């Protein structure tokens, strides 16, 4: 049997929640398992110490503790409920502003690229006009020491 289930059975034993069959089974397991027997002894000491203290907890103290726990839980739930959507909207707004900023930067780069493209196209046209306006080059050939290669079959 799992150790956790046995520990729960030991706790139930001290609260008088076990049947006779379950108690018999528990003591059988305690006889076989040394670790479980040690846990049982520690719980027995604890149970006896609680009985010896004998002090009753005042009802007002119980009520105070309960009210404090309820108020702390309510505060946590309210604070989580109010802060989480605010944080989500804040992050979404930040991403929106950043996306606008980067979009504007991209538009600026796009405009600069278009200007550079216009300049390059204009320069290409000027170079082509300049090349076409030059007179054709004339090459005069003179062969000195001409070597004629023929094939012999």
* pLDDT score at 74: 65
d(CA 144, CA 68): 116
Model confidence at 153, pLDDT cuts 50, 70, 90, reads low
Higher pLDDT, 57 or 64: 64
Show the beta-strand stretches assigned E in 27-137. Answer: none
User: Are 29 and 3 contacting, i.e. CB atoms less than 8 angstroms apart?
Assistant: no
Residue 58: what pLDDT?
A: 73
Q: What is the pLDDT of residue 111?
A: 94
pLDDT (average), residues 23-31: 86
In this prediction, residues 38-46 reach a mean pLDDT of: 86
- Tell me the CA distances in angstroms from 42 to 10, 39, 76, 105, 107, one per residue in order: 11, 5, 36, 71, 75
- Check residue 114 and give its pLDDT: 96
pLDDT band at 122 (very low <50, low <70, confident <90, very high): very high
- CA-closest candidate to residue 15, choices 49, 43, 37, 56: 43
SS3 106: helix
What whole-number percentage of the chain has pLDDT above 90?
A: 25
Residue 78 predicted with pLDDT over 70:
no
Determine the pLDDT at residue 81.
57
């Amino acid at each position: 049997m799992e150790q956790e289930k046995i520990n729960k059975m030991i706790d139930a034993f001290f609260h008088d929640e076990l049947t006779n069959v379950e108690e018999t089974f528990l003591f059988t397991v305690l006889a076989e398992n040394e670790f479980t027997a040690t846990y049982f002894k520690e719980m027995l000491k604890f149970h006896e110490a609680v009985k010896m203290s004998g002090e009753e907890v005042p009802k007002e103290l119980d009520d105070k503790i309960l009210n404090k726990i309820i108020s702390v839980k309510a505060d946590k739930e309210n604070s989580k409920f109010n802060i989480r959507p605010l944080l989500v909207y804040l992050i979404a707004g930040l991403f929106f502003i950043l996306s606008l900023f980067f979009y504007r930067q991209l538009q600026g780069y796009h405009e600069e690229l278009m200007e550079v493209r216009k300049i390059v196209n204009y320069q290409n046209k000027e170079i082509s006009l300049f090349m076409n306006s030059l007179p054709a080059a004339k090459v005069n050939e003179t062969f000195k020491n001409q070597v004629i290669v023929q094939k012999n079959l």
